[in-house]
A and B are shown apart, each in its own frame.
Chain A
Amino acid sequence: AQSVTQPDIHITVSEGASLELRCNYSYGATPYLFWYVQSPGQGLQLLLKYFSGDTLVQGIKGFEAEFKRSQSSFNLRKPSVHWSDAAEYFCAVDDDNNAGNMLTFGGGTRLMVKP
């Protein structure tokens, strides 16, 4: 069965510092991978997705992620964090026909930003 692991439950960074959130997946075929962000009490917003091609993908809000097949990882990065980035971040893999309609999520990483 597919699974997604986000090893860090909480991360605190200073505003302006760089950020990397880790994601490891277990999937038999070529994975279709997503990163979502959730603010308190809200739904999920898609930051970026990887289907194929260039392993470095750019997303919204200045985020990027790199797919590394050899490490089964899809880590999310941002060069300079803003206070408004404080939220919970979820990595997900698509389980069915790669349409994004049957996702397995990691446990999430809660990001706190220090002023």
Chain B
Amino acid sequence: KAGVTQTPRYLIKTRGQQVTLSCSPISGHRSVSWYQQTPGQGLQFLFEYFSETQRNKGNFPGRFSGRQFSNSRSEMNVSTLELGDSALYLCASSGENEAFFGQGTRLTVV
């Protein structure tokens, strides 16, 4: 079966802009989690959506938001981008006590 698909793979944005990243989970998985990976802070949990509801949230400012659609696809949005938001954003879909990760979206803020 198809894995977790994240689009786009690479993105360059300017400070102050907003960005939307997309994640299509494995078919049948209803939980989608988002993580930010940076060299300085490592892998940090952003939030998790289950059946269109945010179920868990990490310690990130309100500029980071997300949503999930009825087909379990999820989007995350970052508003008013800062240079420090440059990172690899990873999405994971969970089923059977296991998280399957996508290849990530590399966001560069200039």
Q: Specify the chain A residue showing the minimal Cβ separation from B100.
A: A46
Q: Kindly state the separation between the CA atoms of A44 and B33 in the bound complex, as whole angstroms.
A: 13
Determine the chain A residues whose CB is within 8 A of the CB of B101 once the complex forms. 36, 43-45
Chain A residues near B56 (CB-CB < 8 A): 95-96, 101-102
> Taking each of B98, B99, B104, which has the highest tally of chain A beta carbons within 10 Å of its own beta carbon?
B99
Within the assembled complex, what's the spacing in Å between the Cα atoms of A36 and B42? 14
| In the assembled complex, B66 has its CB within 8 A of some CB on chain A | no
Smallest CB-CB separation from B43: which chain A residue? A105
Q: Is the CB of B31 within 8 A of A101?
A: yes
Secondary structure dominating the interface of A = loop
**CA distance in complex: A102, B49 (Å):** 10
- Contact residues in A for B64 (Cβ distance below 8 Å): none
In this complex, how many residues of chain B approach chain A with their Cβ under 8 Å: the count is 24
B78-101 CB mask vs A (1 if < 8 Å, else 0) is 000000000000101010011111
Contacts A43-B90, A44-B90 given; indicate if A103 touches B99 (C-beta within 8 A): yes
Which one, B90, B97, B103, contacts A99 given CB within 8 A?
A: B97
Indicate whether B4 reaches chain A with its CB closer than 8 angstroms: yes
Interface residues of A (CB under 8 A from B): 32, 34, 36, 41-46, 49, 51, 90, 92, 95-96, 98-108
Residues of B bordering A, CB below 8 Å: 4, 31, 33, 35, 42-45, 48, 50, 55-56, 90, 92, 94, 97-104, 106
List 23 contacting pairs A-B, 8 Å CB cutoff, sorted by A: A36-B101, A41-B103, A43-B90, A44-B90, A46-B98, A46-B99, A49-B97, A90-B43, A96-B55, A99-B94, A100-B94, A101-B31, A101-B56, A101-B94, A102-B33, A103-B33, A103-B43, A103-B45, A103-B99, A105-B43, A105-B44, A106-B42, A108-B42
